[in-house]
Structure 1
Amino acid sequence: MKTLEQALSRIDLNLLVSLSVLIKEKNVSRAAEKLFLSQPAMSRILGRLRDLFDDPLFYRESNGLQPTAKTLELESQLDEILFSIDSLINSSTFSAELCEKAFRISTPPLMSKLLTAPLAKAIYDAAPKVTLEEYPSAIDPILLLKEGHVDFSIHIKDTVVSDEYHSEKIGQTYPVIYGSADHPLLQKKHITIDDCLEYAFVDLSLDIRSTGEYLNPLDVELRKQGKCRNVALKSGQLATLIESIKGTDRLIIGGHLLEKDSILDSSFKVIKTFDSKPYTVDLYLIEHRRTLTSSPHRWLKLMISESIKKGFQDE
């Protein structure tokens, strides 16, 4: 009987790296480019992978390579294996100063500037060769993590339902209604939510590819009361929304940290805050379990946590 080492010695482990890239890119040419190979070389590697796993692995369709059931089964294990190998090799030698990794995170757009900008600066100071890519949060961050599109997701809901993912509470925020500095509501001594509902709102839209519906805590409570906001404009760009309400009676809901953002200049004021239960919102840092033992990811996780906690302390 062959030992594990003998069985694995006949396998080129670089094939697993190639398979991982093919799964992510779903295109032979793009996968070849990622690995600095020619397209014919990547095609030969795909042939070797098909022989190794005795499966077609992919079918060609007009929109690219589509994985077989076998490939989908392998995908759930592959990233974890590669991260474990990386951790095995680099765990004792990790140096932030020398790290050249590219990390990807997703953050709530309304908090992006105040959370990501300080993080990027802290990372540059400690690890100048590291690249950070930021993407807007999806309604459900699990798919982004599962498919490896992001390494971490900062999310306002704990969406983890299995031990395949790990979440950690890193802060708390609450909704605030903002409007123009000369908004008619500011003439009132006591502003109610019903007062606010008399005016139209603008709203931030999440990734159009997201499935499901996202309701902020204020909308959840309004729905319970049989009420809803009149949303006149939705956009994925915060700057567009802010510009659209200048000189108008329209309102926007944002987190309390938005008040510190320079995008809200002196022409804007807080109209009403909702800083108590049931409106408060917990912030979570979510990751796939495959990164739990990765030294670079543990370092980045600490940087994210410290940056966010400092941001909340400075408010």
Structure 2
Amino acid sequence: MNNLAGIDLNLLVVLDALLAERHVSRAAIRLNKSQPAVSHALARLRTLFDDPLLVRHGGQLEPTARALEIAPRLAEALAHMRQLMGSQPFDPARERHVFRLAMSDYAALVLLPQLMAVLRRQAPNVDLIVCQARREVMMSQVVDGEIDLALGVFPGLAEDLRTSLLFEEHFACLADGASLNGEKTMDLAAYLERPHILVSLRGDAGNEIDLALAATGHRRRIALALPHWSAAPGLVRGTDLVLTVARRILPRDAEIGSLAVFDPPFAIPPFAFRQIWHRRRDGDPAHRWLRDLIAHILAPPEALSANALS
């Protein structure tokens, strides 16, 4: 494909959608085209590149080695073209789009209920596909173009990745109020006497909480280690267990009932929660719209108040 004369460059837009969706029907929805039209375009692309590009495996299309090589450069080139052509702003009320997001169970709890409520009201034709993976896998998926946006804690990023800070998260403790004998908090000695719940994908003690506790010369007994943020708060009720987790996942005031929320009796550094994307997506109006929407939803209340006053 050395000579561009006579080549329909719209085919490259179709290829970009196919590489992102890995499914003819979803790519057709994304492009607002018919499925036969996208299938026909794929046949022409295979001839142009002299490569199958996408081969069927199970229920989806898997990219060939050549397609994986093309994907990031193609997405970047199209983003530059949209900037050069002065692309129109994304209209969420009318346009169809599918975004692929990677996030943890924690991120899903914090973001998805509010995000989906906004999408159903303001962007009814915008769909999300959400997956979960380890931090390193998420970053590689963003680099490879498999994921549009990843949310989580990313202390170090590859050169081509962009990031924006969504909020700083702090830790809190949760215990059954009846087990506190009328107290509203717990000192370090009482904290260490209790059995604890640890939320961890690996189930080990190499986490922010135990590292901070170790810095004071102490360790706690983990009675239960599990990978599910959503299940953990409900396991405290009616027991002597203590749960120390990110504050945003704790039950709201109306749902706490007999549970008690209090500050940890030792210092735990907060963590920065971010969204990351590849720089090739910087100029994509739809991608920028989603990033801005997520940032607005997760902005700390004081930031929203400051914006309203400015």
Please say which of residues 264-273 and 99-108 is displaced more in the overlay.
99-108
How many Å apart are 1:279 and its aligned residue? 1.6
- Alignment of structure 1 residues 105-184 onto 2, 5 Å: 105-110=101-106, 112-122=108-118, 127-129=122-124, 131=126, 133=128, 135=130, 138-140=133-135, 141-162=138-159, 164-184=160-180
| Residue identity in the other structure for 2:153 | I
Q: 1:75: which partner in 2? A: 71
Q: 1:209: which partner in 2? A: none
- How far apart, CA to CA, are the structure 1 residues paired with 2:18 and 2:88? 30
Q: Is the 8 A contact 2:244 2:264 kept in 1?
A: no
Q: Is the 8 A contact 1:174 1:274 kept in 2?
A: no
- How far apart, CA to CA, are the structure 2 residues paired with 1:160 and 1:197? 39
Q: 2:239: which partner in 1? A: 248
- How far apart, CA to CA, are the structure 1 residues paired with 2:123 and 2:72? 32
Q: 1:191: which partner in 2? A: 187
- How far apart, CA to CA, are the structure 2 residues paired with 1:178 and 1:267? 11
Q: Note closer, same or farther for the CA distance 1:189–1:308 as it changes in structure 2 (3 Å cut).
A: closer
**Runs (5+) with no aligned partner, structure 2:** 29-33, 306-310
Q: Note closer, same or farther for the CA distance 1:95–1:60 as it changes in structure 2 (3 Å cut).
A: closer
Q: Note closer, same or farther for the CA distance 1:287–1:133 as it changes in structure 2 (3 Å cut).
A: same
| Residue identity in the other structure for 1:70 | R
Q: Is the 8 A contact 2:72 2:280 kept in 1?
A: no
Q: 1:301 aligns with which of 291, 294, 299?
A: 291
What is the TM-score when the length of structure 1 is the normalising length? 0.72
Q: Note closer, same or farther for the CA distance 1:62–1:287 as it changes in structure 2 (3 Å cut).
A: closer
> What's the Cα RMSD here?
4.1
Q: Deviations over 1:244-284 (max 9, x none)?
A: 332122332321223463685212212443785x5211122
**Runs (5+) with no aligned partner, structure 1:** 207-212
- How far apart, CA to CA, are the structure 1 residues paired with 2:206 and 2:131? 16
Q: 1:10: which partner in 2? A: 6
How many Å apart are 1:32 and its aligned residue? 5.0
What is the TM-score when the length of structure 2 is the normalising length? 0.73
| Residue identity in the other structure for 2:222 | N
Q: 1:217: which partner in 2? A: 208
- How far apart, CA to CA, are the structure 1 residues paired with 2:90 and 2:153? 31
How many Å apart are 1:142 and its aligned residue? 1.1
Percentage of identical aligned residues = 20
How many residues align? The count is 295
How many Å apart are 1:300 and its aligned residue? 2.7
| Residue identity in the other structure for 1:19 | L
